[in-house]
Amino acid sequence: MATNTAAGGASNLLRFWPWVVIPLLALILPQIFDSRHGITLLSHMGIAIIFALSYNMLLGNTGLLSFGHAVYYGLGAYVAMHVLRMVNDAGGEGLPLELIPVVGAAAGLFFGVIFGSFSVRRAGVVFAMITLGLGALVHSSSLMFSDFFGGEAGLFGNRVAAPSLFGVDYGSNTNTYYLVVAWALIAAIFIYLLRKTPLGWMANAVRDNPERAQFVGYNPTIVRFIQFALAAMFAGLAGGLFVITDEIVNDESVGQIQSGIVLLGTYIGGIGYFIGPMVGAALVTVLESSLSSYTEAWVLYFGLLFISIVMFAPMGLVGIVHTQYLTWKAGGWKGNTGIRLYMLLAGLVGIFGAICVIELSYHYFRSWDPSAPFGLMGFTVNATTALPWLVSFGIAIIGFGLMLFHGKPMLARRISATSEGGNA
């Protein structure tokens, strides 16, 4: 039997290959993207993955929607930073750098236990609201208690002025990256194994049916509490790693935006799958850092992507792939592979058209001189003339139209035809 998730179901594909492919990818990627910025981005992806996995312990596994998970990430980071600074001040003597994240994890656990003790009594909206309030409270206090939080300027540390267990020089971004990978792997394994324990099972049980869980002897509050505390611990670990890669921590790491991003990434990836949050977190990290260089509209794209996922693919991107894979394996693609590809293509064309429309709008409404020519998909166009608008809208309408009103009914007809044929 496979994972114990809601929709994950039993699938060997999703069970084993990630454990081989992802570490391999983690080792190969820095060879390809070998600039400092590229390596830092990869490190951030690693951290985001731990954070998202920890978040999914709440949302996916226990059904707890939190709007304040960054509190534990951020507080873990702050405590780790203080320890790093102590090590710095002691002239580089004390706790080895490799273990600084453990400090963050301990801090996350500590605050998770404290805040968790009163926030997990109820799930659902009450829990969501409490986490929202707590997140705002902690974020506001980060600007008030500047002794601990360093005000809005934050705190700085120096990872090089700290001893290393293995004599590694962490001046190099690449070495730091491998440290992140190591911790990410450890965290992922632990979080994965946690799902297999009685606690992990009962977390799912409590998510699906807290009442029933009570009648098999479990206190849902305690199940949620332990899950919450452990999730906070892993969030703190991610925070501790962030301190090492960026050597800075400030109020944004406990802020609502951080909480929002982890929710976004986890959900986009797919909360029902173990690798869902990983995929989502990595994607969001890359998009967030690079999309903004290319388009002003990146927040809008983010919002639209998120809404589309919520509306049309509640199991996330991994869910889409997995469903299609299962259909394919079950032979559901037979005789209609072409139609599926056609729908995909039409959809992509539609998206392309929609992007053109959005880019045109941004140019038209936002730039000082809308009539200035600008480059759109390789063409230089003038946004004050009708032509580019007509073409863009046309592409979008044709694309989505073909997908929804031509491809979709055709697929439905084909499928029903095959199943009838099968019966006959």
Partner 1 sequence: MTKRNALELKAVKKNFGRAEIIRGVNLDVHEHERHVIIGPNGAGKSTLFNLISGRLKVSDGSIKLFDKNIHNMPAHKVNRMGLSRSFQVTNLFQNMTVMQNLRCSLLWSEGHKYAFWKSVMKQDRVTEHALALAEELNLSSQADTPASLLTYAEQRALEVGCTVASGAEVILLDEPTAGMSRTEANDAIQLIQRMTGKNTLVVVEHDLSVVFELADRISVLVYGEIIATGTPDEIRNNAAVQEAYLGTEVH
Partner 2 sequence: MFETIAYSILNGVLYGTLLFMMSSGLTLIFGMMGVLNFAHASFYMLGAYFAYTLGLATGFWVALFLAPILVGAAGALVERYGLRRVHQYGHVPELLFTFGLAYVIEELVALFWGTVPVPYKAPASLDFTAFSLMGLDYSMFKVFILLVAIVMFVGLWLLLKKTRAGLVIQGALSRPDMVGALGHNVPMVFTFVFAFGCALAGLGGVVGGIQFVTDPGMAFMMGPIVFVVVVLGGLGSVPGALVASLIIGILQTFFLSINFSLAGAIGSLGIEDSGFFGVLWHMETTRIAAVLPYLLLVLTLIFRPRGLFGKREA
Partner 3 sequence: MQLNKKAGLFTGTMIGLSMAVSTVTWADNHPIRISYIEPLSGPFANVGDAGLKHFRFAAEKLNNEGGILGRDVEIVAMDNKQSPSESVSLVQRSVDNGINFVTQGNGSNVAGAIVEAVDRNNRRNDDKVLYLNYAAVDPALTNERCSFYHFRFDANSAIKLEALSNFMTTRDDEIDKIFLINQDYSHGQFISKRMKALVDEKLDAEVVGDVLHPIAQVRDFSPYVSRIEQSGADTVVTGNWGNDLSLLVRAIDSAGLDVNTYTYYGGGLGTPAAVGPRGEDILFQVSEWHADVNVDEGLEEYEKWFVEFKERYPEIDWYYHRIYNQMHMLKNAIEEVGDADDVVAIAKAMEGMEFQSPTGTVTMRAKDHQILQPMYISVMDADAKYDADNSGVGFRTVANIPVEEATDTTSCDMRRP
* Closest-CA residue to 286 (of 256, 257, 265, 259): 265
Give min distance, CB of 1 to partner 1, in A.
Answer: 7
SS3 271: coil
> In terms of CB distance, is 223 or 309 closer to partner 1?
223
CB atoms within 10 A of CB 337: 11
C-alpha closest to that of 101 among 51, 66, 27: 51
Instruction: In whole angstroms, give the CA distance from residue 20 to residue 23.
Output: 6
Least distance from partner 3 to the Cβ atom of residue 247, Å: 7
CB 49 within 8 A of CB 274: no
Least distance (Å) between residue 44 CB and partner 3? 8
Kindly state whether residue 222 participates in binding partner 1, applying the rule CB under 8 A: yes
- β-strand pairing of 248-249 with 374-376: unpaired
Does 130 bind partner 2 (CB under 8 A)? Our answer is yes
Residues that bind partner 3 (CB under 8 A): 32-38, 40-41, 44, 140, 143-144, 146, 151-154, 156, 158, 160, 171, 246-248, 250, 252-253, 286-287, 289-296, 298-299, 301, 351-352, 355, 359, 368, 374-378, 380
Give residues with Cβ within 8 angstroms of 407, minimum separation 6: 339, 342, 343, 346
In Å, what is the CA distance from 190 to each residue of 53, 230, 234, 308? 10, 10, 10, 32
96 vs 260, which CB is nearer to partner 2? Answer: 260
101 vs 316, beta carbon nearer partner 2: 316
- Which of residues 98 and 251 has its CB atom nearest to partner 2 in the complex? 251
> Is the Cβ–Cβ distance between 278 and 285 less than 8 Å?
no
CA distance 259 to 135: 8
Which of 16, 17, 33, 145 is close enough to bind partner 2 by CB under 8 A?
Answer: 145
Query: Which token pair is 152?
Result: 């809005």
Euclidean distance between CA atoms 73 and 55, whole angstroms: 10
255 binds partner 1 (CB under 8 A): no
Q: Nearest distance from residue 135's CB to partner 2, in Å?
A: 9
Angle at 247 between CA 245 and CA 251, to 5 degrees: 110
Which of the listed partners (partner 3, partner 2, partner 1, none) does 311 bind, with a CB threshold of 5 to 8 Å by partner kind? partner 2
Phi, psi at 392, each rounded to 5°: -65, -50
Q: Which of 211, 368, 386, 421 binds partner 1 (CB under 8 A)?
A: 211
Q: Which does 137 bind (CB under 5 to 8 A by kind): partner 2, partner 1, partner 3, none?
A: partner 2
The span from the CA of 229 to the CA of 64, in Å, is 13
Q: Rule CB under 8 A: is residue 297 a binding residue for partner 2?
A: yes
Residues lying near partner 1 in the complex (CB under 8 A):
1, 4-7, 9-10, 193-194, 196-202, 204-205, 208-209, 211-220, 222-223, 226, 230
Which residue ranges make up the site for partner 2 (CB under 8 A)?
59, 63, 65, 118-119, 122, 124-126, 128-130, 132-134, 136-137, 140-141, 144-145, 147-148, 260, 263, 267, 297, 299-300, 302-304, 306-307, 310-311, 314, 361-362, 365-366
